Amino acid sequence: MQTVTAPSTLADGKLHVGKHSGHDVSHKLKLRIEDLSFWYGEKQALDSISLDLYNQEVTAFIGPSGCGKSTLLRCLNRMNDEILDARMSGRIVLDGQDISNLMVDPPFLRRRFGWVAQKPNPFPRSIHYNIAYGARLHGLVRRRDETDALVQKCLERVGLWDEVKDRLYEPGTDLSGGQQQRLCVARAIATDPEVLLMDEPGSALDPIATANLEALIEELRAHYCIVIITHNMQEAARISQRAAFFHLGKLIEYGDTRDIFLNPKTELCHDYVTGRYG
Beta-bridge partners for 225? 195
Indicate the residue among 117 and 204 with the shorter CB distance to other proteins.
204
Q: Count the residues of the shown chain that bind other proteins, applying the rule CB under 8 A.
A: 24
Contact between 238 and other proteins per CB under 8 A: yes
Contact between 209 and other proteins per CB under 8 A: yes
Q: Which region, judged by CB under 8 A, interacts with other proteins, from 62-70, 71-79, 164-172, 176-184?
A: 176-184
Nearest partner of 254 among 244, 242, 262, 264, judged by Cα: 244
Indicate the residue among 99 and 237 with the shorter CB distance to other proteins.
237
Between CA 235 and CA 15 the distance in angstroms is: 9
Contact between 211 and other proteins per CB under 8 A: yes
Indicate the residue among 96 and 207 with the shorter CB distance to other proteins.
207
Contact between 193 and other proteins per CB under 8 A: no
- Options 206, 275, 276, 277; binder of other proteins; rule CB under 8 A: 206
Exposure of 12 by Cβ count < 10 A (0-12 exposed, 13-18 middle, 19+ buried)?
exposed
What is the helix (H) or strand (E) element at residue 181, kind and residue range? helix 177-189
Cβ contact 60:257 at 8 Å: yes
Q: What is the DSSP letter of 126?
A: B
Between CA 99 and CA 106 the distance in angstroms is: 9
Contact between 176 and other proteins per CB under 8 A: yes
Between CA 107 and CA 20 the distance in angstroms is: 33
Contact between 157 and other proteins per CB under 8 A: no
Q: What is the DSSP letter of 105?
A: -
Contact between 212 and other proteins per CB under 8 A: yes
User: 65 by DSSP, 3-state: which?
Assistant: coil
Min separation Cβ 204 and other proteins, Å: 4
- Options 5, 7, 11, 16; binder of other proteins; rule CB under 8 A: 16
Contact between 43 and other proteins per CB under 8 A: no
Residues lying near other proteins in the complex (CB under 8 A) are found at 14-19, 176-178, 203-212, 214, 232, 234, 237-238
